[in-house]
Structure 1
Amino acid sequence: MGSRARLTERLDGALDRLYLTNGPLVREFEEKLAEVAGVGHCVAVCNATVGLQVAARAAGIRGGDEIIVPAFTWVATAAALDWIGIVPVFCDADERTGNLDPSEVEALIGPRTRGIMGVHVFGYPCAMDELTDIADRHGLPLLFDAAHAIGCTYKGRPVGGFGAAEVYSFHATKFVNSFEGGAIVTRDAEFAERCRELRNFGITASGEIRSGGTNAKMNEAAAAMGLTSLEVMDELMDINTLNHRRYEKGLEGLTGVRVRGQAEGERANHQYLVIEIDASAAGIHRDEVHAALGAQNVLSRRYFHPSCHQVEPYRSDPARHAPRPLPRAEALAERVLALPTGSAVGPSEIDKVCDIVRRCVSARTPAR
């Protein structure tokens, strides 16, 4: 969370100024986020869900239009678009990364397709070059849900500077948090200006109401927390990296279990520590390990189970999702399990978690 004293100082300043929303702390937070993303423009918003909606609108995507999204992601990606009438078309995953499979994306492009939205699942960057090429050839805006990926890189460049825009999340559970919040980062000055108008009821910098819009502004308290959290981002990244290595060592050689890695040679925030359990090799299903951990008061998460296309309203509404199997996304949803990490977890806790997983699997692994 960073320094409580620094947070209190910032909050006191906001109260002294009597400037409580969309003020100088928000401007400072936007400037620092633009630096992190390696872009010229940042538009802070009240949360990433609204950020995705604003970015889609700024890209010219409207109600009734289709946008290609991954099936293997948190449901908020699709729900944000669906809520404003944009139809999410679910795409199967690259099983290695969990991200959009570019070949599947191209096959899904149809007459109503008006955009592509990738998600950097668990902070692993999408296949930017391939997706950019597809989007450019078909004249489609390319957007990214970068909720997991602040501080990560792709070919040495910060995630945040790709496509028309990327959207960060600063929910309380995220690597950088602002209690609740988000930001749209982009290299395009005109795109950023459209987002600024859309987040404030369509009001331009001169005060003219030029279009429809919404109230997506970030308040000063959220920006104060965001700035405070940003100050310890590198420190937390180092902690998470050490935790990741400890888990790799603790689960090394365990049949049917692997710790999912990050892109080789890239900077990663390791916000999520994710293992993959192959039931046929391990002799035990992921859900059984999840239950065994819970019985020992270890909180794990089955991200993302079920896949988006398997939950309501998409599962039973063909107008929202034309039913079809997405086998790789479905397989991942049955195998992955997120384990505790972050600054509240130390080596002894990690060793205990690894011991529980080892005992579960070792007791059930088929003899060879």
Structure 2
Amino acid sequence: MTQSRYSAAAAANEPIYVASPLLPDIDAYRDQLVDIWATKQLTNGGQKSVNLEQALKEYLGIQSLALLSNGTIALMVACRALKLTGEFITTPFTFIATVHALAWCGLKPVFVDIDPVAMTIDPERIEAAVTPQTSAIVGVHVYGNRCAVDEIDAIAKRHKLKVIYDAAHAFGTRYRGRSIADFGDVSTYSFHSTKLFHTGEGGAVATRHKDLDAAARSLRNFGIASEESIPGTGINAKMSELQAGMGLAVLPLVDDEKVKRRSIFQRYNDAFNAIPGITTPPLGDLGEDSFQYYCLRVVSAAGTPTRDELYQRLKTANVFSRRYFWPLCSDTEEYKHLDSADPARLPNAHRAAREVLCLPLYGTLKDEDVSRIINALREACGVAS
């Protein structure tokens, strides 16, 4: 075998991971660094942070946005800005950071079940969970699927509750022509390196309310108002100029990245639609959806593999998928003792946690990589390629 054939054989079995960061050309990032070096300001709201906040407000179509060091701290800052106490109603079907962030602020989670199709918090379950101790509803937009924002906002208004939407999966998601961050009191974003838009590590708080925006800006800087005034208890949650520079280099690439992801999404759906036991996600519109993840649901039946069996078979083929979200937040050591964590109260969430499998989805996947993923899954399902 020639060297080229050896190389081709090796490439055919290289690991394919579930996520890969959207990286700008290194010269584009270097240009951002040159500006930062000239100012010698590495943090504390320098020009890169100012520019990125403005660019994101324009891109997302929102009024206010405060950059923060990560998405978890964004949830914590939102909690403090809204002055939440007591309990919050949320979904168990989310990344653990959603629940941890508010629990860290001294609040108690109350879990309610999810919609069986959208996999977002079910508004029909929320109202029955409201008690005198409830101060907020925390909804999570899952895989770019929006929460039932109209219904949730109406429930919150009836009961005088605050609403936080965790929009970590919903960068650019829109509803009825409006940014998804135009609903609720506060929306929080994660700009972690695995997200569609990222700053390496980072996050943001977005809101329509000027007082909440001002509170977030104060809280991210230790609660300092001036050299002589510290009226509140804040924290160090500022985004660095290095992160903001990365964001400014990445943002121009996002629209093209979404086009590439949608094309891969379509190839997956075309290949998997007719496989027994597999439910494919709906193909969204470029102007409305984030294309953050591609998530199958694997419905176990006689003669078909389970989700976990597919996960292992793909791993054997060096294709790394993700069981996302698994385990449920309500099943973790920290929260499983809660009455609301009883599996009997959360059947849809438990089913989703058993069925969802996220496949690799990013613009740098080569055509042959996509074909390899498709063939590996079809073979794992016992379907001829």
**Under a length normalisation based on structure 1, what TM-score does the superposition of the two structures give?**
0.94
> Is the Cα–Cα contact under 8 Å of residues 256 and 281 in structure 1 kept in the other structure?
no
Give the CA deviation at 1:360.
2.0
Aligned amino acid, residue 214 of structure 1: I
Q: Secondary structure of the residue that 2:264 maps to in structure 1?
A: helix
Give the CA deviation at 1:260.
1.5
Pair 232,39 (structure 1): closer, same or farther in 2 beyond 3 Å: same
Give the CA deviation at 1:67.
0.7
Pair 293,259 (structure 1): closer, same or farther in 2 beyond 3 Å: same
- Say yes or no: does 1:6 pair with 2:31: no
d(CA) in 2 for partners of 1:207, 1:220: 25
Task: Find the counterpart in structure 1 of residue 170 from structure 2.
Answer: 149
- 1:218-237 correspondence runs (5 A): 218-237=239-258
> Is the Cα–Cα contact under 8 Å of residues 257 and 282 in structure 1 kept in the other structure?
no
| Residue of structure 2 aligned with 1:332, choices 352, 355, 377 | 352
- Say yes or no: does 1:359 pair with 2:379: yes
Aligned amino acid, residue 74 of structure 1: F
Give the CA deviation at 1:187.
1.1
Quote the sequence identity (%). 35
Task: Find the counterpart in structure 2 of residue 247 from structure 1.
Answer: 268
Aligned amino acid, residue 142 of structure 1: V
Q: Summarize deviations over 1:95-147 as a string: whole Å, max 9, x none.
A: 11110000111111111100011110001111111111111111111111000
Q: Secondary structure of the residue that 2:301 maps to in structure 1?
A: helix
| Residue of structure 2 aligned with 1:30, choices 37, 45, 53 | 53
Pair 101,170 (structure 1): closer, same or farther in 2 beyond 3 Å: same
d(CA) in 1 for partners of 2:226, 2:181: 25
Give the CA deviation at 1:251.
0.9
> Is the Cα–Cα contact under 8 Å of residues 321 and 357 in structure 2 kept in the other structure?
yes
Q: Secondary structure of the residue that 2:183 maps to in structure 1?
A: coil
Give the CA deviation at 1:262.
5.4
Give the CA deviation at 1:68.
0.9
d(CA) in 2 for partners of 1:205, 1:9: 32
CA RMSD in angstroms comes to 1.8
d(CA) in 2 for partners of 1:324, 1:259: 26
Task: Find the counterpart in structure 1 of residue 231 from structure 2.
Answer: 210
- Say yes or no: does 1:82 pair with 2:82: no
Aligned amino acid, residue 312 of structure 1: E
d(CA) in 1 for partners of 2:219, 2:235: 6
Give the CA deviation at 1:305.
0.8
- Say yes or no: does 1:110 pair with 2:131: yes
**Under a length normalisation based on structure 2, what TM-score does the superposition of the two structures give?**
0.90
d(CA) in 1 for partners of 2:139, 2:59: 20
- Say yes or no: does 1:200 pair with 2:250: no
> Is the Cα–Cα contact under 8 Å of residues 79 and 105 in structure 2 kept in the other structure?
no
Give the CA deviation at 1:265.
8.9
Task: Find the counterpart in structure 2 of residue 55 from structure 1.
Answer: 78
Q: Which moved more, 1:331-340 or 1:150-159?
A: 150-159
d(CA) in 1 for partners of 2:303, 2:210: 51
Give the CA deviation at 1:235.
0.7
Aligned length: 360
Aligned amino acid, residue 310 of structure 1: D
| Residue of structure 2 aligned with 1:181, choices 189, 199, 202 | 202
> Is the Cα–Cα contact under 8 Å of residues 202 and 213 in structure 1 kept in the other structure?
yes
Give the CA deviation at 1:258.
1.9
Q: Secondary structure of the residue that 1:121 maps to in structure 2?
A: coil
Give the CA deviation at 1:184.
0.6
Aligned amino acid, residue 327 of structure 1: P
- Say yes or no: does 1:309 pair with 2:312: no
